[in-house]
Structure 1
């Protein structure tokens, strides 16, 4: 029987025991967590849908293991493969993980730290971007629930020397942000995040500084999240300071928002709300939000020479955001609101005057941006208690309008003038991306001329009531283009007005008004008893149905047209003493040329042509205007009487377009142009 000696058995046992120990020792000595790097890279690439790699993996084992990865790299997606820089890089990423909560299905991360993270974020003009990942959306939705992970699972997040570049072709932006965090200072303080940004946004230089609570504090429902933002985009500045209660649950804020800049229309890239051009402004108010609305409440400030206050509420959850604005001014300069009709707001500068002198349009020609209007729906009310402007005799303003799918419904734009009202309504419906179909109406209701004269000229006029209506149907995108294409007309009545020497310069401008006064040849203190104008507008050309200026001793009739397509006027006025004979003419003249600077041209041929036109009869249906006069200024007015007299006893010696009423006992006949010129020639010899 062959046996094994004790030393041999001992040696085998020793080898059997020491071999695993040595193997474990060697494994520990030569162990490298980098062996798992290919597996990590494979899993990360599959999860993100683009190539993702790390170079090294380190794990410090314990009850709270510390995992460190080096040289993190996330490549650009295939559509952005031509970019030289990667989508994301970081020198080091550290994660600490508690093991015991994992046994109960929870994830707790006491600390995450990332060194020198760099990100390159882009969106092209066609909408494609490099920050949308292609991993399965359902998998993404279930990741958080399956792992028990949430922001509250992380106690501390540290970012050192972060750099983020954002390029957005749609927003015309190219911005670079430097990002870092500050460490907690106490058990209650979780530190802060600091972001400094420079570059360009909306084609303008941008610089901003943001200090906020730690990103992880966003999930803390008990501690308000602090916010301190200062941003300058071009000449526009905005600051936001205060705190947010439970930001992820939309429980409210204590934030103060301040805006200032040269023009509110420049706020569009920052707010997404289209605002017409305004003068310089500064506004401060409370910014608040809940799950449905964002509101800028109880703001106060200044816009040009006007004060401005109110509340603006935005519902961003609708397909097209809805804005509700209630605005108010105690004192308003009407020029500050010029941008709402396409005019230059605020006071006119020397350079503005030079530009305006070269513009042939007498009306504002700034187009309304239809696509911008389609980006927002809104309901706006505005009241101005007192209008400060000596050039425009308006006392107060009451406006309300709505914007829906690019259409504007001007429910009211009312101005108080003395005891009367200038009331407007309009609808503007987009017909394409450039033009609106417009229906507008302006009613002049018992407007006190004495108040206008006192306000604009200091003249202490007595009485004087203005009434009438202006209507417009047109297609265009500015006041100028709408008038150039418009149909409608103006009917205006003035009863017992002030002195004509003060009235005409105030109505027509000093230079033109004085020239017309001189051509009319009337005494400087002549009072206006009646003025009637009935001028239809057809395809941008205003013609004359009726124009009558009645004083105590004279009657002035007018005819001609005002062409808003060419911005020119061709008008004739003839003044006659009230009487049966044509030989009592004091004179006639033409107003011709550009609307901005027409010429008053009396002269033999021009006067003869004007007289001939008058003798042949104006298109003047005066009695048809009586209902309008009675509605606008009251029944039994001097204008009603004056129109009756024009119809029964015309100064030209015959009814307009009718027979000779001044030849008693003789057969009536229509005067020819030659007869009128002969009569005028005879008068000039006396």
Structure 2
């Protein structure tokens, strides 16, 4: 053996001996002796007291599952017991918890070879009985936010990197006191005893292609407390290991939660749990009103009757355009109506946006009442809302929640294919397109199928202004009288139709205040119908019943034409022309209807066609309120207020405007045309 070979051999033997001595030293070293130093360094780095109060150990063990030569390399296994991390100084006197967090034991193993490249690789960490007391004050300070001590500007960034593969845990506890959200929660986690397969709870269609790779449910959890002032209770199941290194590995979730009157059930997966990457859940929601979801989710939804939905929720929480939530192919009920569709919510800037398409195969008309505050007081109480509608008022006084309209934008299309209604409201279908942008709400179009015809509207409510400004344009076309009054036998032979227009502007935050100060006009034309006391009874118009009985007795009377042109100024509606052309007489209505105080002051004046007993009948009045109208017979002469001169041809302007409404009629012999032509003609002197 040459001299050089001997030197190399002795050098290698020396290195091996030195390495062996180092391993023996590390294996036999009492690591508890360095606990004070570790506690001091970690406390200084975190800016709050840290302590390993129990035993600190390092064991060297091989990892056979690594395979090949790596299985021969011993790995260091670290363990420490009774660890505590304190609170920042500002929490003194503000929390009863002595520590921010504590651990009964932590164990992890360190991959040795990556240390040569300044990489700290920890394949797995196991935590035993973790506990945390979280506190956030009303001013935003939170004890889970670490204010690290300032570094010297001359310090260079550390060349070391840290990578953690998985975090395993057993039973634990989290207590949350969030004063800024008015939320207090106590969460307990315990082992199930026997794992529950993911597919057993999730079923098919949840989790996507990664469902087969999803781990079983290992832990059960329970929570109780309050969220944003609402009582909360819940329970569910989760997996046993958080996969931090492989962000695509799904983590199983299952929960049943009740917050206030809202109940939610979820089952599915969370991927990239460290960064809250994505969700794929089956979500069921139920509650007394969708509007009650706003304080929980920040999503502005309409006031509705009791609802329940079931669908698939997928979320991309790290989307560059903003967290994206898709509630796909859900089915549900709102009141007694069904609801189906898909919705997308993007938490974008400057405002989040909700978009989607909804359909209802069978829509109950009464379920639409809460949208405009027109539902009953008992229905509001059932939804847990304060009763606001006065018993003596007909127009809804419930205020629109315009303060929520600027919280998000919306673009939602809705189609109600079949409408369930009473015989008094022959509506067949509904279509609307809702657009909400920076507080400006538009329904364009809002279209109903009514009595074989259509009712179309364009509504605009500007909730960004105080008080709210509103515009409404409405068109009624070709409403068939025999379908409008299906229970009136005499009307079934009629070919008559109803056509009308309305154009109103107003300000205010409720239907009552908007109409109470509205300006605009309304026009209506009806041809070829019949009127009777029985018809008024069917329509539920008790005052109309009285008026018709006084004018015509109990007989049916043919209406050749009925026309109305009503101007509205600051909530006061006054007819420029309001006339019924019957086979016996022309009946005029004049006076006012005040939307501000809901008072009526109307006169019904008959003008006989020829010498008949009918001409002896006295003019009538309708007074009282919208809710409680009262009718009677005038005992003295009337002062003409304008419309009473209809027979003299002094209403040319209103008549000309109403002639345009005859054009949509499919009847070739519309009997309103001669009357309006006569009224349009210049007055004879």
1:481 aligned counterpart, secondary structure? helix
Aligned CA distance change for structure 1 residues 189 and 568 (closer, same or farther; 3 Å): closer
Match of 1:308 among 339, 345, 362: 339
2:119 aligned counterpart, secondary structure? coil
Matches within 5 A, 1:17-416: 33=32, 36-37=35-36, 39-53=37-51, 55=53, 58-62=56-60, 63-76=75-88, 78=90, 82-86=94-98, 88-98=100-110, 100-101=112-113, 102-109=115-122, 112-135=125-148, 147-152=160-165, 154=166, 156-160=167-171, 162-180=172-190, 192-217=218-243, 219-220=245-246, 223-243=249-269, 255-290=281-316, 292=319, 293-344=324-375, 358-390=390-422, 391-416=424-449
Structure 1 residue 518 and structure 2 residue 549: aligned?
yes
Q: Which moved more, 1:316-325 or 1:470-479?
A: 316-325
Q: Which moved more, 1:213-222 or 1:254-263?
A: 213-222
Structure 1 residue 473 and structure 2 residue 505: aligned?
yes
Answer yes or no: is the 8 Å Cα contact 1:277–1:345 preserved in 2: no
Instruction: Provide Cα deviations, 1:204-253, integer angstroms capped at 9, x if missing partner.
Output: 32111131223523654565432212112233222112345666799976
Instruction: Provide Cα deviations, 1:342-393, integer angstroms capped at 9, x if missing partner.
Output: 22289969999x9688433312222121222222211110111111102321
Aligned CA distance change for structure 1 residues 408 and 534 (closer, same or farther; 3 Å): same
**1:119 & 1:350 partners in 2: Cα distance?**
40
1:163 aligned counterpart, secondary structure? strand
Match of 1:609 among 619, 631, 638: 638
Aligned CA distance change for structure 1 residues 276 and 222 (closer, same or farther; 3 Å): closer
1:373 aligned counterpart, secondary structure? helix
**1:55 & 1:251 partners in 2: Cα distance?**
35
Aligned CA distance change for structure 1 residues 363 and 208 (closer, same or farther; 3 Å): same
**1:70 & 1:419 partners in 2: Cα distance?**
78
Matches within 5 A, 1:514-553: 514-553=545-584
**1:275 & 1:188 partners in 2: Cα distance?**
34
Answer yes or no: is the 8 Å Cα contact 2:566–2:573 preserved in 1: yes
Aligned CA distance change for structure 1 residues 430 and 540 (closer, same or farther; 3 Å): same
Aligned to 1:485: 517
Instruction: Provide Cα deviations, 1:177-200, integer angstroms capped at 9, x if missing partner.
Output: 113456997999587343311112
Aligned to 1:419: 452
2:162 aligned counterpart, secondary structure? coil
Q: Which structure has the bigger radius of gyration?
A: 1
Q: Which moved more, 1:230-239 or 1:440-449?
A: 230-239
**1:182 & 1:242 partners in 2: Cα distance?**
18
Aligned to 1:684: none
Q: Which moved more, 1:495-504 or 1:246-255?
A: 246-255
CA offset at residue 598 of structure 1? 0.9
Answer yes or no: is the 8 Å Cα contact 1:180–1:193 preserved in 2: yes
CA offset at residue 35 of structure 1? 5.5
Aligned CA distance change for structure 1 residues 349 and 117 (closer, same or farther; 3 Å): closer
Answer yes or no: is the 8 Å Cα contact 1:532–1:547 preserved in 2: yes
Instruction: Provide Cα deviations, 1:249-299, integer angstroms capped at 9, x if missing partner.
Output: 999765322122332222233433222222222221122234643211111
Aligned CA distance change for structure 1 residues 66 and 427 (closer, same or farther; 3 Å): same
**1:31 & 1:272 partners in 2: Cα distance?**
55
Answer yes or no: is the 8 Å Cα contact 1:444–1:632 preserved in 2: no
**1:375 & 1:456 partners in 2: Cα distance?**
49
Answer yes or no: is the 8 Å Cα contact 2:426–2:483 preserved in 1: yes
Matches within 5 A, 1:584-599: 584-599=615-630
CA offset at residue 505 of structure 1? 4.2
Instruction: Provide Cα deviations, 1:563-599, integer angstroms capped at 9, x if missing partner.
Output: 1111111111111212499993522111111110111
CA offset at residue 403 of structure 1? 0.9
CA offset at residue 646 of structure 1? 4.5
- How many residue pairs get matched? 616
Aligned CA distance change for structure 1 residues 355 and 58 (closer, same or farther; 3 Å): closer
Aligned CA distance change for structure 1 residues 487 and 137 (closer, same or farther; 3 Å): farther
Aligned to 2:4: none
Aligned to 2:64: none
Answer yes or no: is the 8 Å Cα contact 1:417–1:447 preserved in 2: yes
